[in-house]
Amino acid sequence: MIWGAAFILALICFGILLHPVLRPSQTKQLVHGETALEIYKDQLAEIDRDLARGLIAESDAAVARLEIQRRILAMGKGVQKRPFSPTSNRIIMIIAALFVPIVGVGVYSITGSPDAQSMPYASRSEEVAQAREINDLAQRLREKLTNHADEGPSEGWMLLGQTYMGMARYNDAAEAFRVVAEREGADSVVFSRYGEALIAAENGNITPLAETQLDRALELDARNPAPSYYKALAFQQRADLQSAYQILADRVALDQTWQPWMESFAQLANDIGAQIDRPALTLPERPAGPSAADMQAAQDMDADERAAFIQSMVTGLAERLAQDPNDLDGWLRLARAYQVLGETAKAKEAFQSAKPLADKLGNDDPRKEIVAQGLAQN
């Protein structure tokens, strides 16, 4: 159904676009010069009139204008001596008229989805308004930072860079991170984010400048996982698969407990390792939470039974952490559980146990802030 309608519309557009071209010409034989230029101007004016009357779509008018303007420009490049043929002009216009619907149908047949539901107008308006607001906020922040006496605080530039990354304005993000990277005291997080922005700006290609930032980030903090991952990609791009695999394996080996980023490391390392006959990485056991059966059983309990069940889970977690005190995520779960139970003193103890582990994290790791907030609240 939709293809039939599209075909009919294409024919209509084709006919309308050719209307000013195929009408009988009063001039049989012309020579390039002022007369030809006047004809081109008349054709442009005719297209504008048809567009104003709604007889031609803006996209079709643009194609026709583009071709006419190209021919006008060509007149000034040494083609004045060639005879002008209305027939050849019409052929060009016919080709232009055919080009729009044919290419449009071809592209839609590949990328379009006639069965897909359209996005409500209100949703589109909200997205546009939100994008405009974010853009305005980013612009105001940039102006405030650049107008500051000392170019503004580093935190502001980092926020601006992260905002630009979210907007896919990677070159602008790299520039914001560069400002902080050139300041004294820039840490590993700054250099890794600067490198990441440079990589994104090059569509994933890791340039020497980007790799320099990754190396600097690793020098400042070898435990920062982000630069290790991108360094592995850099080695992979240079076909140095042994080095790519090794840097991933070495970084995973630095942590004895499971971390969320390990899965992406293992996936990349194992893909590379399969090509060079290296063993698959073995990750630390992922901490297990309550099973689906446990959760269902808890829902069927009364209030007292549920409280006892939760307490038993918390006690079991505390006992496990006593045997494995290097599990930062475990301490955070235990602290949150104590907070839910209203046992603030025990929650504070859990956060205190987590603090030495959190202090080793990069500044961009959210767990570091969670521990700081937990200690401040309890």
Please state, rounded to an integer, the average pLDDT across all residues of the chain: 75
Predicted confidence at residue 83, as pLDDT, reads 46
Find, among 190, 233, 42, the residue nearest to 50 by Cα: 42
Q: What is the pTM of this model?
A: 0.51
Contact 202, 187 (CB under 8 A): no
Predicted confidence at residue 31, as pLDDT, reads 45
Q: Which residues contact 325 (CB under 8 A, 6 or more apart)?
A: 353
The tens digit of pLDDT for each residue in 84-116 reads: 445 545 555 555 555 555 555 554 555 555 555
Q: How confident is the model at residue 143 (pLDDT cuts 50, 70, 90)?
A: confident
The tens digit of pLDDT for each residue in 267-310 reads: 999 999 999 999 999 888 776 555 556 556 666 777 777 677 77
Q: Which residues contact 165 (CB under 8 A, 6 or more apart)?
A: 173, 196, 197, 200
| Mean pLDDT in residue range 68-74 | 56
CATH of domain 292-377: 1.25.40.10
Q: Please give the helix or strand (H or E) that residue 189 lies within, else none.
A: helix 188-201
Residues forming a β-bridge with 31: 83
Predicted confidence at residue 250, as pLDDT, reads 95
Question: Domain-by-domain residue ranges, the chain?
Answer: 2-111, 126-276, 292-377
* Sign of the CA dihedral with 225 first, then 231, 236, and 237 last: positive
**Helix crossing, 2-22 with 34-52: angle to 10°?**
140
Predicted confidence at residue 116, as pLDDT, reads 55
Predicted confidence at residue 10, as pLDDT, reads 57
The tens digit of pLDDT for each residue in 9-27 reads: 555 655 655 555 555 544 4
| Mean pLDDT in residue range 310-323 | 82
Predicted confidence at residue 84, as pLDDT, reads 44
Q: Any idea which of 170-174, 177-181, 330-334 has the lowest mean pLDDT?
A: 330-334
Q: Please say if the pLDDT value at position 153 is more than 70.
A: yes
CATH homologous superfamily, domain 126-276: Tetratricopeptide repeat domain (1.25.40.10)
| Environment class of 207 (CB within 10 Å of its CB; exposed 0-12, middle 13-18, buried 19+) | middle
Same fold, 126-276 and 292-377: yes
